[in-house]
């Protein structure tokens, strides 16, 4: 793959991650009764984007770029705006802090998907790693 196409993919991943991060930051506080529907759907959407990038594009860099875009959007939109408005308000005394849960959950999703090992590079068991009874033996030299 050429360098211009790699840079374009990284930029698209960064912008797409930022869009998902903004959408999740705005929607995370939607509750249906006591069920945090906005938080659940926002996390599912962000995880689906990151998993899709991880599974469809070789390498982890586009996944990390999308995750960086998500985290930057959460950071930017969690603060006080120029007009004094706050998208992620501090929870009242005794209330569930959905904003903090969203911030830590999206960070955990980015770290989990980005750091997940590449299982496609695992080698299938060979005769040297198979025990006499047919079960797989562990090799200490690999």
Structural domain contains residue 141: no
Higher pLDDT pick, 10 / 137? 10
Higher pLDDT pick, 111 / 125? 111
**Beta pairing partners, 136:** 130
pLDDT of residue 126: 65
Residues contacting residue 81 through CB under 8 Å, at least 6 positions apart: 87
The closest alpha carbon to 48, from 29, 71, 20, 28, belongs to 20
d(CA 71, CA 14) in angstroms, rounded, equals: 10
pLDDT of residue 109: 97
pLDDT of residue 63: 96
Structural domain contains residue 85: yes
Domain count across the chain: 1
Structural domain contains residue 122: yes
Structural domain contains residue 140: no
Question: Could you tell me if 66 and 49 are in contact, meaning their C-beta atoms sit under 8 angstroms apart?
Answer: yes
Structural domain contains residue 136: no
pLDDT of residue 125: 65
Structural domain contains residue 82: yes
Q: Which domain holds residue 73?
A: 3-129
pLDDT of residue 136: 60
pLDDT of residue 22: 94
pLDDT of residue 121: 73
Query: Is pLDDT at 138 greater than 80 in this prediction?
Result: no
Structural domain contains residue 17: yes
pLDDT in tens, 23-57: 999 999 899 998 999 999 999 999 999 999 999 98
pLDDT in tens, 70-103: 999 999 988 887 887 777 777 788 888 898 999 9
Higher pLDDT pick, 81 / 110? 110
pTM as predicted:
0.80
Structural domain contains residue 61: yes
Burial environment of residue 109 by CB neighbours within 10 A (0 to 12, 13 to 18, 19 or more):
buried
């Amino acid at each position: 793959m050429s360098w211009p196409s790699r840079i374009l993919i990284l930029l698209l991943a960064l912008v797409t991650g930022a869009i998902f991060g903004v959408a999740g930051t705005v929607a995370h506080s939607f509750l249906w009764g006591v069920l945090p529907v906005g938080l659940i759907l926002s996390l599912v959407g962000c995880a689906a984007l990151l998993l899709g990038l991880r599974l469809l594009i070789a390498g982890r860099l586009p996944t990390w770029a999308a995750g960086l875009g998500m985290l930057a959007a959460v950071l930017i939109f969690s603060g006080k705006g120029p007009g004094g408005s706050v998208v992620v308000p501090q929870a009242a005394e005794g209330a569930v802090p959905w904003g903090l849960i969203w911030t830590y959950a999206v960070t955990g999703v980015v770290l989990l998907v980005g750091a997940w090992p590449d299982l496609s590079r695992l080698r299938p068991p060979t005769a040297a790693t198979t025990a006499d009874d047919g079960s797989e033996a562990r090799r200490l030299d690999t």
